[in-house]
């Protein structure tokens, strides 16, 4: 009984936030047209987009967004005409007026299945004492919220933070040789593990401790160790390597921890599908439904990214309506691009035209 009262009380706190978000969602989407998209839209590889849309339709969530279009896509003579005739672009907006595009990649770590003097940092599976409650089971309005913690004396309390990791009761997938590499693996959400017996395995996100994600780059800026314009994954890693005695201090600033499980080969997102380099993005599903087809436009210092992408993943740091994390793939080039990617973003979502006519009515 006590547990039920606690959950209902917490849910009511979330409910106020949820109602506010629902009001905001009605303002963030504005009907657009294809002429408003960047000129580069005309040069899109529509055949590739069609093939990826068909793959995207393997998810039940995608089928709900595009009823009928998934089946229709299987018999298409002209991919570009199919897109133009069946999808309506809607531009996403936010109160700040400017979005943000960052990048992520399939990370890699060196590890062992056994703990040794070299391989000593545990990569955990989901802890046995982690309580995860889907709040939508109590209030449908809270479908985007999940409560995580641990049960102590009939009360749900916050789960252990990163600084309290030694208290975690969880099976260990493997032990890696670098605390920093493990941290960045958690940030990326999936990785390739090179084991000391010359075999490899792939792991991916399974759960997290429920703590709020806090960017260590901002902490270093606040400490006067770095300028905000210089923050990147590469610069943070270089700083940590140059200050080994402060690694725990900086990493523990981020209370959030990710737990993993074995995956099939490659990187898989929250949609349950294999991610496609330079076509998959992570989004905030409070604003963008997983499975949606999007168009993003961002200007980097040395290039422009302007293309159709698919919302197939989520991330703890991905918050807001005009916010996306661009999956760059695997390898040094992918890591280099993802680590430095931080650019203003414009974002559109493609919805079925028939659905949009109903909205307008």
Predicted local confidence at residue 138, as pLDDT: 67
Q: Rounded to an integer, what is the distance from CA 331 to the centroid of its chain?
A: 19
Per-residue buried b or exposed e for 94-121, using 16+ beta carbons within 10 Å of the residue's own CB: beeeebbbbbbbbbbbebbeeeeeebeb
**Residue 154, number of CB atoms within 10 A of its CB:** 10
Q: What is the pLDDT of residues 122-137, one digit of tens each?
A: 999 999 999 987 766 6
pLDDT per position as a tens digit, 85-114: 999 999 999 876 689 999 999 999 999 999
> Does residue 338 lie within any of the structural domains?
yes
How many structural domains does the chain have? 1
Q: Mean pLDDT over residues 219-228, rounded?
A: 96
Q: pLDDT (tens digit, 9 = 90+) per residue, 284-340?
A: 999 999 999 999 999 988 789 999 999 999 988 899 999 999 999 999 999 999 998
> How far is 235 from 215, CA to CA, in rounded Å?
14
Whether 123 is in a domain gets the answer no
What single DSSP character describes residue 274? B
More confident position, 263 or 55: 55
Residue 106 has a pLDDT of 95
The CATH number assigned to the domain holding 348 equals: 2.40.40.10
Q: Quick one: pLDDT at residue 10?
A: 45
Give the range of the structural domain holding residue 34, as residue numbers without chain letter.
Answer: 29-102+270-360
Q: Which pLDDT does position 135 carry in this prediction?
A: 67
This prediction has a pTM of 0.81
Q: Where are any strands of DSSP class E within 34-189? A: 87-92, 99-112, 121-124, 131-134, 146-152, 155-157, 172-176
- Tokens found for residue 54: 């068909």
Bridge partners for 100 per DSSP: 323, 344
Residue 193 lies in a domain: no
């Amino acid at each position: 009984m006590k547990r039920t009262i606690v959950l209902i009380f917490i849910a009511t706190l979330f409910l106020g936030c949820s109602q506010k978000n629902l009001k905001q969602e009605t303002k963030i989407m504005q009907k657009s047209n294809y002429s408003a998209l960047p000129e580069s839209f005309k040069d899109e590889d529509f055949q590739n987009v069609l093939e990826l849309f068909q793959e995207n339709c393997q998810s039940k969530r995608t089928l709900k967004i595009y009823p009928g279009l998934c089946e229709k896509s299987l018999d298409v003579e002209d991919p570009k005409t199919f897109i133009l005739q069946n999808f309506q672009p809607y531009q996403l907006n936010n109160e700040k007026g400017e979005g943000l595009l960052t990048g992520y990649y399939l990370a890699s770590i060196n590890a062992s299945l056994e703990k040794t003097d070299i391989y000593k940092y545990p990569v955990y599976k989901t802890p046995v004492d982690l309580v995860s409650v889907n709040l939508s089971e109590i209030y449908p309005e809270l479908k985007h919220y999940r409560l995580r913690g641990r049960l102590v004396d009939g009360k749900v309390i916050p789960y252990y933070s990163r600084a309290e990791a030694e208290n975690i009761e969880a099976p260990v997938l493997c032990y890696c040789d670098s605390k920093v590499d493990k941290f960045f693996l958690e940030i990326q959400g999936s990785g390739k593990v090179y084991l000391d017996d010359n075999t490899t395995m792939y792991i991916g996100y399974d759960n997290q401790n429920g703590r709020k994600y806090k960017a260590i780059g901002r902490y270093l800026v606040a400490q006067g160790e770095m300028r905000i314009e210089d923050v990147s994954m590469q610069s943070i890693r270089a700083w940590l390597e140059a200050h080994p005695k402060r690694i725990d201090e900086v990493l523990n600033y981020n209370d959030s921890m990710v737990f993993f499980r074995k995956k099939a080969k490659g990187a898989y997102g929250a949609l349950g599908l294999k991610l496609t380099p330079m076509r998959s993005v992570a989004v905030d599903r409070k604003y963008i439904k997983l499975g949606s087809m999007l168009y993003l436009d961002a200007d980097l210092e040395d290039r422009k990214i302007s293309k159709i992408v698919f919302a197939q993943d989520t991330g703890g740091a991905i918050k807001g309506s005009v916010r996306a994390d661009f999956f760059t793939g695997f390898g040094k080039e992918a890591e280099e691009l993802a680590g430095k990617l931080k650019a203003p973003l414009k974002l559109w979502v493609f919805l079925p035209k028939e659905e949009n006519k109903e909205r307008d009515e």
